């Protein structure tokens, strides 16, 4: 019988992020407490730019955006936001969406699987994802449960389970 496997990835659907950004932008334009503060959120190349005329307001915009991401099922671990920066008369926060598992993070996950997972389960790094194989599908489900119980500082999804 062939080995069963699944892939561990860290991907974010760009369209969902776009939808969350549009919802946050609409809420900012409609809310009374954002009238006249120059609050906005938009794409700036590959990163997201939030701006307002005070540090508190720009942090509030970040909170709104994070709330919209959560409602759309996107992990906040994928969002990497910087600190508010003064730029002339306004404050800005730049945020990026992290995708892919870095080599060192993949090694951390593989080590957890090796040390705490069932025997006979192999994990190998393939680019920006991790393939986990085993003869037993039950062992693979145990590995998924183990990894869901751990708190990594990046988002994990499990795909191609076969």
Query: Within the chain, which residues score under 70 in pLDDT?
Result: 1-2
**What is the pTM (predicted TM-score) of this model?**
0.82
Q: d(Cα 20, Cα 59) in Å, to the nearest integer?
A: 16
Residue 62's pLDDT is: 95
Percent of the chain at pLDDT > 70 equals: 99
pLDDT tens column, 122-160: 888 888 889 999 998 898 899 999 988 888 888 888 888
For 17, left (φ over 0), alpha (ψ -120 to 50), or beta? alpha
Domains of the chain: residue spans and CATH? 4-11+101-159 (3.30.70.860), 14-97 (3.30.70.990)
Per-residue pLDDT at 1: 54
């Amino acid at each position: 019988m062939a080995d069963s496997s699944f892939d561990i990835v860290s991907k974010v659907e760009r369209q969902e992020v776009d939808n969350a950004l549009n919802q946050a932008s609409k809420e900012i334009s409609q809310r009374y407490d954002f009238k006249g503060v120059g609050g906005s959120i938009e794409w700036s190349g590959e990163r997201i730019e939030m701006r307002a005329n005070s540090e508190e307001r720009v942090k509030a915009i970040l909170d709104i955006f994070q709330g919209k991401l959560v409602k759309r099922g996107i992990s906040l671990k994928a969002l990497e936001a910087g600190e508010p920066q003064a730029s002339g008369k306004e404050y800005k926060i730049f945020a990026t969406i992290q995708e892919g598992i870095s080599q060192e993070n993949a090694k951390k996950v593989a080590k957890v699987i090796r040390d705490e997972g069932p025997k006979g389960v192999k994990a190998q790094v393939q680019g920006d994802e991790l393939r986990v194989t085993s003869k037993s599908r039950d062992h693979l489900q145990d590995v998924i449960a183990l990894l869901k119980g751990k708190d990594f500082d990046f988002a994990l999804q499990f795909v191609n389970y076969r």
